[in-house]
């Protein structure tokens, strides 16, 4: 096997380019999770995660029961670690995916040009919102706030799908609009307020969502808009008060079209804009690679009695590690180092079958070590 036969990897954590900075900004929240679990692996924090599991899950998920057998049965010992790690990972991931969608949308608007002011941080969102509502009294949880020009503003509330969350969560999508009626009668700016459901595959609760949103706004929009009219018209846009249009968006195609209409003539956002942005960021390897390797290494430690992190230390010098990190082509350099190490690796500790896969595993473990070193 030579260097050209390796699978490619793109690790956004290691990318030093300007494009890498943009992708890292969009993927910051989920990539931060990748960095965290790499830290778990190289610090061997599995025990810390297990001990941090709450008492309810310990008896509901049978963790306490498994622990009672752990000293004499490796499978039981493994379960308590496996459940704890997966609980740690997935609960954190669920909270982060929405942040990535928010960052992706913000980047699209940022790239519209200097005419557009996009609020990246909470204090910036407050500042932009006060340009519309100077009397705003409280901070509101809005995913995206953008100003096109001195009179035209955009706010977006994003949800990944509409079949999660109860009626309270659905109603909260327009909590800002409801609250805005307390600040002043009519804003002196034009605001397009989008409630956006990103994934339309399971839009099974579309009508329920609309009904709950209407219920939250009914007492302030008056009798001029009936529930039936609201349900039928809100996807086309409804003026809920002078200067403010509420529109519900289902899917990225409709979102791109709506953004394009709002952005012109200052900028052009086409039907394919969101797809192109997704293509820029979807081919990254940090999260899946770290999760897969950390999961396998947990299995190695608790079932097989191996620790490949410790074995790697025997064969990977700090000099080689620094060489990879400083390299202009880190993947290619890591490939070369992996080929040097592979013949020395005598331990039967890599849980893959073919020689090619074992060498790839060594290379990928080296790359995770590089992420750990720079994080």
Confidence of residue 164 (pLDDT cuts 50, 70, 90): low
Compute CA distances 351 → 105, 199, 303, 326, whole Å.
40, 36, 12, 30
Q: Does 230 lie in the same domain as 331?
A: no
In a domain, 325, yes or no: yes
Domain end position, chosen among 268, 298, 314: 268
Which element (helix H / strand E) includes 298?
helix 286-299
Q: What is the pLDDT of residue 277?
A: 94
pLDDT greater at residue 239 or residue 293: 293
pLDDT above 70 for 170: no
Annotate 282-313 with b (16+ C-beta within 10 A) or e (fewer): eebbbbebbbebbbbbbebbbeeebbbbebbe
In a domain, 108, yes or no: no
Confidence of residue 119 (pLDDT cuts 50, 70, 90): very high
pLDDT greater at residue 137 or residue 347: 347
Identify which of 214, 211, 133, 217 has the alpha carbon closest to the alpha carbon of residue 177.
Answer: 217
pLDDT digits (tens, 9 = 90+) for 300-357: 999 999 999 999 999 999 999 999 999 999 999 999 999 999 999 999 999 999 999 9
Q: What is the pLDDT of residue 167?
A: 53
Percent of the chain with pLDDT over 70: 95
CB 259 within 8 A of CB 269: yes
Q: Does 221 lie in the same domain as 133?
A: yes
Domain end position, chosen among 241, 268, 295: 268
CB 220 within 8 A of CB 178: yes
**Axis crossing angle, helix 273-282 with helix 252-263, rounded to the nearest 10:** 120
Q: Does 261 lie in the same domain as 138?
A: yes
Average pLDDT over residues 157-185: 73
Q: Does 124 lie in the same domain as 50?
A: no
Q: What is the pLDDT of residue 193?
A: 94
Q: Does 252 lie in the same domain as 200?
A: yes
Average pLDDT over residues 226-251: 91
CB 239 within 8 A of CB 172: no
Q: Does 120 lie in the same domain as 239?
A: yes
Q: What is the pLDDT of residue 137?
A: 72
Q: Does 122 lie in the same domain as 244?
A: yes
pLDDT above 70 for 157: yes
Confidence of residue 178 (pLDDT cuts 50, 70, 90): confident
Q: Does 301 lie in the same domain as 249?
A: no
Average pLDDT over residues 112-141: 87
Total domain count for the chain? 2
pLDDT digits (tens, 9 = 90+) for 8-41: 999 999 999 999 999 999 999 999 999 999 999 9
Average pLDDT over residues 175-198: 83
Least confident span in 128-132, 186-190, 203-207, 302-306: 203-207
CB 371 within 8 A of CB 38: yes
Identify which of 249, 243, 255, 241 has the alpha carbon closest to the alpha carbon of residue 209.
Answer: 249
Q: Does 133 lie in the same domain as 255?
A: yes
pLDDT digits (tens, 9 = 90+) for 60-116: 999 999 999 999 999 999 999 999 999 999 999 988 998 999 999 999 999 999 989
Domain end position, chosen among 268, 291, 322: 268
Exposed, middle or buried, 185 (CB in 10 Å: 0-12/13-18/19+)? Answer: exposed
Q: Does 125 lie in the same domain as 231?
A: yes
Measured over the CA atoms of residue 167, residue 170, residue 175 and residue 177, the dihedral's sign is: negative
In a domain, 273, yes or no: no
Q: What is the pLDDT of residue 177?
A: 84
Q: What is the pLDDT of residue 120?
A: 87
pLDDT above 80 for 234: yes
**Axis crossing angle, helix 330-341 with helix 318-326, rounded to the nearest 10:** 160
pLDDT above 60 for 165: no
Other CB atoms within 10 A of residue 221 CB? 18
Cα–Cα distance, 32 to 37 (Å, whole number)? 9
- List all residues 6 or more positions away from 55 whose beta carbon is below 8 Å from its beta carbon: none
Long-range Cβ contact pairs of 166-175 (< 8 A, separation 24 or more): 167/208, 167/212, 170/205, 170/208, 170/209, 170/212, 170/213, 171/212, 171/213, 171/215, 171/216, 172/141, 173/209, 173/213, 174/213, 174/216, 174/217, 174/246, 175/140, 175/141, 175/216
pLDDT greater at residue 216 or residue 146: 146
In a domain, 275, yes or no: no
In a domain, 50, yes or no: yes
Q: Does 288 lie in the same domain as 264?
A: no
pLDDT above 90 for 2: no
Largest CA distance in the chain: 79
pLDDT greater at residue 136 or residue 46: 46
Confidence of residue 161 (pLDDT cuts 50, 70, 90): confident
pLDDT greater at residue 346 or residue 220: 346
Q: What is the pLDDT of residue 221?
A: 78
In DSSP terms, 157 is beta-bridged to 195
Q: Does 7 lie in the same domain as 63?
A: yes
Instruction: Identify the domain containing residue 209 by its residue range.
Output: 113-268
Cα–Cα distance, 279 to 284 (Å, whole number)? 10
In a domain, 205, yes or no: yes
Average pLDDT over residues 208-220: 86
Q: What is the pLDDT of residue 203?
A: 62
Cα–Cα distance, 43 to 52 (Å, whole number)? 16
Answer whether 0.75 is exceeded by the pTM.
Answer: yes
pLDDT above 60 for 168: no
In a domain, 107, yes or no: no
In a domain, 274, yes or no: no
């Amino acid at each position: 096997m030579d260097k050209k036969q390796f699978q490619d990897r793109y690790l956004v954590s290691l990318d030093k380019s300007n494009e890498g900075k943009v992708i890292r900004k969009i993927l910051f929240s989920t990539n931060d999770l990748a960095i965290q679990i790499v830290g778990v692996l190289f610090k061997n924090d599995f025990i810390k995660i297990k001990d941090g599991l709450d008492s309810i899950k310990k008896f509901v998920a049978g963790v306490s029961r498994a622990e009672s057998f752990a000293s004499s049965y490796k499978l039981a010992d493994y379960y308590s670690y496996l459940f704890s790690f997966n609980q740690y990972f997935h609960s954190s991931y669920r909270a982060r995916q929405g942040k990535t969608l928010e960052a992706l949308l913000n980047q699209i608007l940022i790239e519209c040009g200097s005419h557009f002011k996009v609020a990246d941080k909470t204090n910036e969102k407050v500042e932009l919102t006060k340009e519309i509502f100077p009397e705003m009294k409280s901070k509101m949880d809005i995913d995206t706030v953008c100003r096109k020009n001195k009179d035209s503003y955009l706010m977006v509330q994003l949800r990944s799908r509409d079949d999660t969350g109860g009626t309270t969560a659905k109603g909260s999508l327009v909590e800002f609009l409801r609250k805005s009626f307390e600040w002043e009668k009519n804003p002196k700016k034009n605001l397009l307020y989008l409630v956006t459901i990103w994934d339309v595959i399971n839009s099974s609760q579309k009508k329920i969502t609309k009904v709950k949103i209407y219920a939250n706004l009914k007492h302030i929009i008056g009798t001029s808009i009936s529930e039936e009219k609201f349900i039928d018209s809100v996807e086309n846009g409804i003026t809920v008060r002078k200067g403010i249009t509420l529109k519900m968006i289902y899917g990225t195609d409709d979102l791109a079209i709506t953004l394009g209409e709002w952005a012109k003539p200052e900028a052009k956002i086409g039907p394919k804009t969101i797809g192109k942005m997704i293509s820029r960021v979807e081919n990254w390897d940090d999260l899946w690679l770290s999760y897969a390797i950390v999961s396998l290494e947990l299995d190695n430690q608790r079932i097989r009695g191996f620790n490949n992190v410790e074995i790697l230390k025997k064969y990977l010098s700090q000099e080689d590690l620094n060489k990879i990190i400083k390299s202009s082509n880190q993947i290619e350099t890591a490939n070369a180092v992996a080929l040097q190490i592979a013949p020395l690796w005598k331990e039967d500790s890599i849980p893959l079958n073919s020689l090619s896969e074992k060498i790839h595993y060594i290379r990928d473990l080296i790359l995770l070590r590089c992420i750990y070193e720079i994080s």
